[in-house]
Amino acid sequence: MTDKTASGDVRLAGISKHYGSFTAVHPLDLTIPQGSFFALLGASGCGKTTTLRMIAGLEEPSTGTVSLGDREVTHLPPYKRPVNTVFQSYALFPHLSIYENIAFGLRRRGIKSVKKQVDDMLELVQLGQFAQRKPHQLSGGQQQRVAVARALINHPQVLLLDEPLGALDLKLRRQMQLELKRIQTEVGITFVHVTHDQEEAMTMADTVAVMNGGRVEQLGAPAELYENPRTTFVANFLGTSNLIEASVESAGTDVVVSASGTTLRLPGQRCSTTPRAGGKLLVGVRPEKISLVHADEEHTVAAGRNKIAGRIADSSFIGVSTQYVIDSRVCPELEVYAQNIERDARLVPGAEVVLHWNPEHTFGLDAAMDIDAGVETVEESA
Amino acid sequence: MTAVSAPPREAAPAEPPVHKASLRKRLIPYWLLLPGILWLLVFFVLPMIYQASTSVQTGSLEEGFKVTWHFQTYWEAFGDYYPQFLRSLLYAGTATALCLLLGYPLAYLIAFKAGRWRNLLLVLVIAPFFTSFLIRTLAWKTILADGGPVVGALNAVGFLDVTSWLGMTEGDRVLATPLAVVCGLTYNFLPFMILPLYTSLERIDTRLHEAAGDLYARPATVFRKVTFPLSMPGVVSGTLLTFIPASGDYVNAELLGSTDTRMIGSVIQSQYLRILDYPTAAALSFILMAIVLIMVSIYIRRAGTEDLV
User: Does A91 reach chain B within 8 Å, measured CB to CB?
Assistant: yes
Q: Produce one character per residue of A202-213: b if its CB has 16 or more CB atoms within 10 Å, e if not.
A: bbbbebbbbbbb
Nearest alpha-carbon partner for B211 in A83, A261, A204? A83
C-alpha to C-alpha distance for B60 and A230, rounded to whole angstroms: 102
C-alpha to C-alpha distance for A13 and B57, rounded to whole angstroms: 87
**Does some domain include residue B64?**
no
Classify A247 as helix, strand or coil. Answer: strand
Instruction: Kindly state whether residues B98 and B218 are assigned to the same domain.
Output: yes
Say yes or no: B306 contacts chain A, CB-CB below 8 A. no
Query: Does a structural domain hold residue B308?
Result: no
- Give the mutation candidate from A60, A81, A89, A95 for the B interface (greatest B CB count, under 10 A): A95
The ipTM estimated for the assembled molecules is 0.81
B205 contacts A95? CB cut-off 8 A: no
Let me know whether B25 and B85 are in one domain.
no
Same domain, B30 and B176: no
Q: Which residue of A has its CA nearest to B216?
A: A79
pLDDT at A332: 82
- pLDDT tens digits for range B11-27: 444 455 556 778 888 88
Residues B87 and B167 in one domain: yes
Q: CA of B178 to nearest chain A CA: how many angstroms apart? A: 39
Phi, psi of A283 (to 5 degrees): -100, 130
Contacts of A301 (CB under 8 A, 6+ apart): A293, A307, A354, A356
Those residues of chain A that have pLDDT short of 70 are 1-6, 376-382
B211, B218, B230: residue with CB nearest A91: B211
Contacts of B217 in chain A (CB under 8 A): 79, 104, 108
Q: Are A7 and A158 in contact (CB under 8 A)?
A: no
Claim to verify: residue B40 and residue B91 sit in the same structural domain: no
Identify from A81, A93, A109, A152 which residue to disrupt to test chain B contact, counting B C-beta atoms within 10 A and taking the largest count. Answer: A93
Question: Are both B133 and B48 inside the same structural domain?
Answer: no
What are the structural domains, with CATH classification, of chain A? Answer: 10-227 (3.40.50.300), 241-381 (2.40.50.100)
User: In A34-144, at which residue ranges do the beta strands (DSSP E only) sit?
Assistant: 37-41, 63-68, 71-72, 83-86
The verdict on B191 and B51 lying in the same domain is no
Cβ distance of B218 and A154 shorter than 8 Å: no
Same domain, B23 and B112: no
Nearest to A295, CA basis, from A343, A357, A356? A356
Owning domain of residue B50 = 2-55
- Alpha-carbon distance of A152 to A84, in angstroms, equals 7
Tell me if B141 is assigned to some domain: yes
B126 part of a folded domain: yes
B134 with B279, same domain: the answer is: yes
- Residue B67 covered by a domain: no
Q: What is the pLDDT of residues B130-178, one digit of tens each?
A: 999 899 999 999 999 888 888 989 888 988 888 888 888 888 888 999 9
Instruction: Give the CATH number, domain containing residue B153.
Output: 1.10.3720.10
Is the minimum CB–CB distance between A136 and chain B shorter than 8 Å? no
Same structural domain, B90 and B27: no
| CB distance A255 to A281 below 8 Å | yes
Give the residue among A323, A345, A351 at the shortest CA–CA distance from A240.
A323
Measure the CA–CA gap between B142 and B242, rounded to whole angstroms.
24
Give the three-state DSSP class for B76: helix
Do A364 and A266 meet the contact criterion of CB atoms below 8 Å apart? Answer: yes
| Any domain includes B65 | no
Instruction: Give pairs for B150-155: CB < 8 Å, separation 24+.
Output: B150/B174, B151/B175
* pLDDT number for residue B306: 55
Same domain, B32 and B87: no
CA B47 – CA B42 distance, rounded (Å): 8
B136 and B197 in a single domain? The answer is: yes
Domains held by chain B: number: 2
pLDDT of B304: 66
- Give the pLDDT of chain B (309 residues) as one tens digit per residue: 344 444 444 444 445 555 677 888 888 999 999 999 999 999 999 999 999 999 999 888 788 888 888 899 999 999 999 999 999 999 999 999 999 999 999 999 999 999 899 999 999 999 998 999 899 999 999 999 888 888 989 888 988 888 888 888 888 888 999 999 999 999 999 999 999 999 999 999 999 999 999 999 999 999 999 999 999 999 999 999 999 999 999 999 999 998 888 999 999 999 999 988 899 999 999 999 999 999 999 988 888 655 443
B161 is a domain residue: yes
Nearest-angstrom CA–CA distance, B95 and A322? 76
Residue B124 lies in a domain: yes
What is the structure's pLDDT at A89? 86
